[in-house]
Amino acid sequence: MNQPLGKILVVDDNEMNRDMLSRRLAKKGHCVDVAEDGARALEMIGASCYGLVLLDIMMPGIDGYEVLKRLRTEYDAADLPVIMATAKRESEDVVEALKIGANDYVTKPFDFPVVLARVNTQLALKKSRDELARAHRRMKADLEAAARIQQTLLPSTAPELEGVRFAWRYLPCDELAGDTLNVFRIDEKRVGFFVLDVSGHGVPSSLLSVTLSRLLSGRTDPESIVCTATPVEVLHELARRFPYDDATHQYFTMVYGTLDISRRHFTYVSAGHPPVIRIRRGAPAEFLTSTGPPVALLPSILGTTTYEQVELELEPGDRLYLYSDGIPEAQSPSGEELGEERVAERLQPLLDHDLDASISSLLEWVWEWGGGTGPGDDVSVLAVEIED
């Protein structure tokens, strides 16, 4: 609740105390209302907004303890600070008030400088908490807006190409992700696709992820580097543009491949990324392993990073699964990692499922493996199927 920080409610059955506190607090710049008993105090708090309540404990009818109990069912201590005032000095009274939810206490007869200091302290704390809450809301709104922008860089629909099908999932663990993926037509015969994973989480990772997505976005974008380049040329260009940076220590892994649909010819390069899994009928799952280190991981003093390009022929019915490490590194409640072998074993019998359904089944199983909490990292999956 947004309450005026300077508005104080003084609750005391003694008229002299009410008058003294209200007048002296008003002289110090505070707006003050008064209530003569607990019932009136609850009525006024329900009808108006207060930044703080100075509440007497010993009152006829509804005493201060009961007023505080009722207030704490609607307002927590951060929203409505309450300072208890009592003529008693026994520690059990103070302890009881603090247990119920009082923020502080003062004793009678009032030492006004002490009262003023404690009032100002609670109001200052409330102001700081309110400012933090507003800043948090602004930051959350900014992150949500950035996440929506990041989502727009993902493919909305797969290219309509005869002989091949695509499906994918993108599940960030926070508002912003270091993962990204895409599928795009290069020319009439070829389609390109990739999955990449920037180290870390949050804004720094997402900024680099967005930059890379733009560079790899296909021939329609003038900033793209994939128009005429082979996969290995693309990786070497990325390594040139994104060298090791001792200031950020950011690096990224990725698989980038192109598929010549007419020949069912798959060409790819993998930079330190989890292996592509190839699922075939009548054959065990095959791991297409990395062909070079992550980009920007190694200092330039180690020399120029080189990558190898791999080419293979696919058969009708073959499937390829590209994924980020959030899947194989998902942990069970006991801390055991899922691992790539289990992922492949899970995918093999899913050849009888629709391509999109196979991804759904895989992710449901990953969530079950984690005890229903899901992986602690971003998850991206891109599946490719050569149609019969």
Instruction: Please state the pTM of the whole predicted model.
Output: 0.70
In the prediction, which pLDDT does 172 show? 82
Q: What is the pLDDT of residue 176?
A: 73
**Local confidence band at 353 (pLDDT 50, 70, 90 cut-offs):** very high
Q: How far apart are CA 264 and CA 154, in angstroms?
A: 25
Structure confidence at residue 230 (pLDDT): 92
In angstroms, what CA-CA distances link 59 with 43, 56, 100? 16, 7, 17
Q: What is the tens place of the pLDDT at every residue in 18-46?
A: 999 999 999 999 999 999 999 999 999 99
pLDDT at 75 over 90: yes
Cβ atoms within 10 Å of 344's Cβ, excluding its own: 19
* 272: nearest Cα among 304, 318, 239, 224: 239
Give the confidence band of 3 by pLDDT, cuts at 50, 70, 90.
very low
* Domains of the chain from N-terminus onward: 7-143 (3.40.50.2300), 153-386 (3.60.40.10)
Q: Is residue 161 scored above 60 in pLDDT?
A: yes
- Percent residues over pLDDT 70 in the chain: 94
Residues 179-230 pLDDT 10s: 899 999 888 889 999 999 998 777 888 888 888 988 887 666 666 788 778 9
Nearest-Å Rg of the Cα atoms of the chain is: 32
- Mean of pLDDT over the chain: 89
For residue 158, what pLDDT is reported? 77
